[in-house]
């Protein structure tokens, strides 16, 4: 069924910490400008692709909202069509929520960032300033500097001298670093929380080295007048010997024993799968691609902990964390449980792993080659479904930028065949399904997308003003240029991050159940 719920009723369900799903059906830019604290963004343009990962249990109680513009109703119907049984829409959308006096939160991955700020307040995670780090680096026995973000972030920019080891891999591969026990370790991210969580993870595991987070990360570095290293090539993650793997496993055993983390056996997985729990494989992308347990989803620890809402859209979710020797799963479980989730470590499950087939990203629309598209120039409409910023940078001459929530406006102008340009042909499928209800035009997909178009030497054009900022609803402008030298944007971002805790009301704060380390348990 598709129901309706008032803002007060939905707040009551959230405050009761009920096991419910919460989806924001708006596009990424709209979501980032303000959303409910525990909502996962499931934009309508990608809805049917993302929903099964965000909410594997199709019988769960789901709440959906928009800007009171009809998108939630369309999204709810689509969810019903793919098997979700209990979907309700927030009456009046986000405006009604705000009119009722409830808070909205800017930015993305907010619950994970709140966790990092709460941990820093509770544990007094050691931090050093950029000036202190620079002074330490001048010493011959300076610190070992680690960039705890994913390698994709490291490639863009990092602090000079940093080694790329994502937080979730750091404890697992720590033995392979072979560091002297007296060497200081400094972990940084782009702002605050991933550095704090990375440092505190090592401290909690009992690493003997002095460990610090770099205060305000790369943004603090730039604000202090220093230059970042850009366009970097991260080295491969260090491999572990058999002896080092044993040392790594000992970290897992310590975390499990010290903090009473729950463990299940691989034999228990069928029951969890039957209950439609989250089965998340926290190993590296290469390990998962080689083989994994059927039905599991790849969720690298650094992102699962620091961007939990991108994998888990249910409150108090049951999450089975699949790993090899358990240290990465233990690290993830430790933090996810503090966010109110029932996260468990799975032992001895990889015996069930199977070789992974290639992921199916094929679309269902008939395709046209770039040369065939050229032949139709003048009689066909080309709709570019890529991101608004990609369109601004370059697009096929004459192509019109389009996005699924606003397909009705585009459909009014269509008279002939339509050629869809998309990075993922499945996105083209979803847009075409929208047009089916609005027009009778024939839709085709450009085979190979823009990459194929450019590879054949076809012309492209740019327009930095189209779509307008107001129409680019998929792009989050909120401090978007903080990594490109805009110091004011960096200051705004850091102020936003440190101010998150003060935005929480009493019931929102109660969701976070911090596991105090023994050092501060009585503080």
Assign residue 377 the CATH number of its domain: 3.40.250.10
Look at residue 523 in the predicted model and tell me its pLDDT. 45
Are residues 195 and 312 located together in one domain of the fold?
no
Are residues 65 and 136 located together in one domain of the fold?
no
* Closest alpha carbon to 41 in 52, 20, 27: 27
**Quick one: angle between helices 110-123 and 193-204, nearest 10?**
50
Residue 477 maps to a domain: no
Considering Cα of 322, then 328, then 334, then 336, what sign does the dihedral take? negative
At 127-174, the pLDDT tens digits run 999 999 999 999 888 999 999 999 999 999 999 999 999 998 999 999
**Whether the predicted pLDDT of 69 surpasses 60:** yes
Look at residue 356 in the predicted model and tell me its pLDDT. 72
Are residues 308 and 399 located together in one domain of the fold?
no
Look at residue 151 in the predicted model and tell me its pLDDT. 93
**Whether the predicted pLDDT of 362 surpasses 80:** no
User: In the predicted model, what is the mean pLDDT of the chain?
Assistant: 94
484 or 238: which leads in pLDDT = 238
**Whether the predicted pLDDT of 480 surpasses 90:** no
Cα angle: 369, vertex 372, 378; to 5 degrees:
130
Look at residue 401 in the predicted model and tell me its pLDDT. 98
Beta bridge partners of 188: 147
Are residues 201 and 293 located together in one domain of the fold?
no
At 309-326, the pLDDT tens digits run 999 999 999 999 999 989
Are residues 344 and 260 located together in one domain of the fold?
yes
Q: Of 106, 129, 146, which closes a domain?
A: 106
**Whether the predicted pLDDT of 521 surpasses 80:** no
Residue 475 maps to a domain: no
At 1-39, the pLDDT tens digits run 799 999 999 999 999 999 999 999 999 999 999 999 999
Look at residue 259 in the predicted model and tell me its pLDDT. 93
**Whether the predicted pLDDT of 520 surpasses 70:** no
Mean pLDDT value of segment 435-458: 95
Are residues 416 and 393 located together in one domain of the fold?
yes
Q: Taking a C-beta distance cutoff of 8 angstroms, is the pair 54, 315 a contact?
A: no
Are residues 212 and 134 located together in one domain of the fold?
yes
Mean pLDDT value of segment 444-451: 96
Least confident of 72-76, 97-101, 261-265, 356-360: 356-360
Write out the two tokens for 460: 């492209």
Helix (H, G, I), strand (E, B) or coil at 183: coil
Mean pLDDT value of segment 82-109: 97
Are residues 155 and 219 located together in one domain of the fold?
yes
Rounded to whole angstroms, the Cα distance separating 359 from 362 reads 9
Mean pLDDT value of segment 492-501: 94
How far, CA to CA in Å, does 86 sit from each of 69, 314, 466? Answer: 21, 14, 39
Look at residue 359 in the predicted model and tell me its pLDDT. 63
Residue 47 maps to a domain: yes
Rounded to whole angstroms, the Cα distance separating 49 from 311 reads 13
pLDDT band at 329, cuts 50/70/90?
very high
Beta bridge partners of 65: 24
Rounded to whole angstroms, the Cα distance separating 343 from 119 reads 18
Are residues 330 and 380 located together in one domain of the fold?
no
Cα angle: 109, vertex 226, 106; to 5 degrees:
20
**Whether the predicted pLDDT of 486 surpasses 90:** no
Calculated CA dihedral for residues 117, 120, 123, 125, nearest 10 degrees? 160
Range of the domain at 407: 367-455
Are residues 255 and 274 located together in one domain of the fold?
yes
Residue 87 maps to a domain: yes
Number of compact structural domains in the chain? 4
Rounded to whole angstroms, the Cα distance separating 426 from 365 reads 9
Instruction: Tell me the helices (H) and strands (E) count for the chain, helix number first.
Output: 23, 24
Are residues 130 and 234 located together in one domain of the fold?
yes
Residue 278 maps to a domain: yes
What lies within 8 Å, CB to CB, of 40 at 6+ separation is 22, 23, 24, 54, 309, 310, 312, 313
Residue 341 maps to a domain: yes
Q: Of 88, 106, 124, which closes a domain?
A: 106
* Closest alpha carbon to 510 in 21, 40, 109, 16: 16
Sheet with 21-24, strands from edge to edge, namely 2-5, 86-90, 61-65, 21-24, 40-41
Are residues 26 and 75 located together in one domain of the fold?
yes
Residue 485 maps to a domain: no
Residue 306 maps to a domain: yes
């Amino acid at each position: 069924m598709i129901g309706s719920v008032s803002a007060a009723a939905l707040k009551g369900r959230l405050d009761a910490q009920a096991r419910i799903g919460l989806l924001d059906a708006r596009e990424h830019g709209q979501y980032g400008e303000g959303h409910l604290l525990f909502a996962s963004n499931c934009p309508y343009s990608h809805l049917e692709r993302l929903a099964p990962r965000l909410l594997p249990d199709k019988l769960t109680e789901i709440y959906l909202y928009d800007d009171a513009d009809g998108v939630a109703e369309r999204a709810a119907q689509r969810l019903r069509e793919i098997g979700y049984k209990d979907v309700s829409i927030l009456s009046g959308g986000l405006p009604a929520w705000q009119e009722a006096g409830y808070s909205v939160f800017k930015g993305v991955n907010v619950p994970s960032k709140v966790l990092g700020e709460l941990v820093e307040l509770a544990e007094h995670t050691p931090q050093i300033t950029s000036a202190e780090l620079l002074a330490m680096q001048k010493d011959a026995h300076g610190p070992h500097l680690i960039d705890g973000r994913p390698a994709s972030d490291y490639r863009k920019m990092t602090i000079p001298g940093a080694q790329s080891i994502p937080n979730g891999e750091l404890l697992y591969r720590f033995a392979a670093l072979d560091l002297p026990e007296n060497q200081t370790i400094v972990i940084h991210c782009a702002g605050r929380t991933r550095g704090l969580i990375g440092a505190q993870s090592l401290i909690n595991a009992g690493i003997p080295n002095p460990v610090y987070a770099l205060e305000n990360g790369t943004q603090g570095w730039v604000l202090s007048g220093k230059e970042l290293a850009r366009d970097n090539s991260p080295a491969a993650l260090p491999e572990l010997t058999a002896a080092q793997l044993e040392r790594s496993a000992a970290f897992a055993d310590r975390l499990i024993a010290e903090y009473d983390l729950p463990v299940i056996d691989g034999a228990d997985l069928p029951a969890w799968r039957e209950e439609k729990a989250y089965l998340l494989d926290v190993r590296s992308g290469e390990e998962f691609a080689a083989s994994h347990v059927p039905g599991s989803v790849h969720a690298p620890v650094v992102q699962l902990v620091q961007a939990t809402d991108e994998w888990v859209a249910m409150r108090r979710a049951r999450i089975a964390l699949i790993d090899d020797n358990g240290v990465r799963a233990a690290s993830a479980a430790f933090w996810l449980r503090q966010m109110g989730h029932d996260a468990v470590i799975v032992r001895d499950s990889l015996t069930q792993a199977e070789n992974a087939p290639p992921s199916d990203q094929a679309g269902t629309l008939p395709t046209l080659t770039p040369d065939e598209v050229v032949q139709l120039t003048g009689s066909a409409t080309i709709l570019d479904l890529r991101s608004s910023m990609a369109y601004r940078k370059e697009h096929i001459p004459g192509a019109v930028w389009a996005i699924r929530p606003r397909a009705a406006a585009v459909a009014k102008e269509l008279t002939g065949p339509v050629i869809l340009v998309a990075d993922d042909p499945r996105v083209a499928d979803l847009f075409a399904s929208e047009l089916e209800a609005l027009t009778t035009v024939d839709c085709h997909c450009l085979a190979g997308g823009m990459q194929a178009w450019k590879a054949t030497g076809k012309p492209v054009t740019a327009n930095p003003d189209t779509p307008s900022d107001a129409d680019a609803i998929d792009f989050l402008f909120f401090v978007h240029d903080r990594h490109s030298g805009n110091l004011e944007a960096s200051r705004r971002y850091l102020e936003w991050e440190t101010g998150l805790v003060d935005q929480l009301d009493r019931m929102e704060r109660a969701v976070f159940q911090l596991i105090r380390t023994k050092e501060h348990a009585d503080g």
